[in-house]
Amino acid sequence: MEHGFVIWHTGVAASGKSTIGKEVVRRLRERGIKIEDFDADEVRANISPNLGFTPEARDENTKRLAFFGSILARNGVAASIAAVSNLRRFRDRARSMIDNFVEVYVKCTLEECKRRDPKGLYKKGEEGKINDIAGWHQPYEEPLNPELVLDTTTMSVEECVEAELAKLEELGYIPKSGEATEPTDTGYSPEEEEKIKKRLADLGYL
């Protein structure tokens, strides 16, 4: 892969962005594709622990994620990014910074996200302990023309992952399943390859 690409998973908290992204990364690595996983919350914890969730802080965090992704992509490495990135201008900026950009809208109803609530954010919101949840206290602007929409209210994780892999294949960013990721031409003719294989077999290596 000469050029990398960036999959930008956007959606409100608990929609399933990180879960889908991590499984896609695992599946792509199994295919021999170089890819890194960036979760917005993990990046905050390790690089900007004091960065909050104000509009300005969200702006800064998404800018950093786009920068990381752009560096990897131009060096032939793919990246999966999971970030609420609630404003379209955040995502538009990322697209402008990255040549091969795939926006995946992980869509889910607020009611279902509140029911899942794996990090307890919505519970804290109900209790009045926090008031900065995108899609509830702060706006969440749905993508207008994403490359892919995954509705996790009705789709399973496996269905979402398969749909995303199919989209990457369709866009030409990854080989189709079963195809080699690297050229397989050894420089030998079929007859020469057979002779080499026979010699290796005779020596006990095959």
Question: Which residues are tagged catalytic?
Answer: 85
For 130, residues 6+ apart whose C-beta sits below 8 A from its C-beta are 121, 124, 137
Secondary structure in 3-state letters for 141-158: CCCCCCCEEEECCCCCHH
- The single-letter code of the amino acid at 56 is E
Number of H helices, E strands in the chain: 8, 5
- The single-letter code of the amino acid at 13 is A
- The single-letter code of the amino acid at 174 is I
Euclidean distance between CA atoms 4 and 177, whole angstroms: 18
Euclidean distance between CA atoms 162 and 157, whole angstroms: 9
Tokens standing for residue 202:
């005779």
For 126, residues 6+ apart whose C-beta sits below 8 A from its C-beta are none
Please give the C-alpha separations between residue 57 and each of 61, 64, 85, 119, 198, in angstroms, as whole numbers: 6, 11, 11, 20, 63
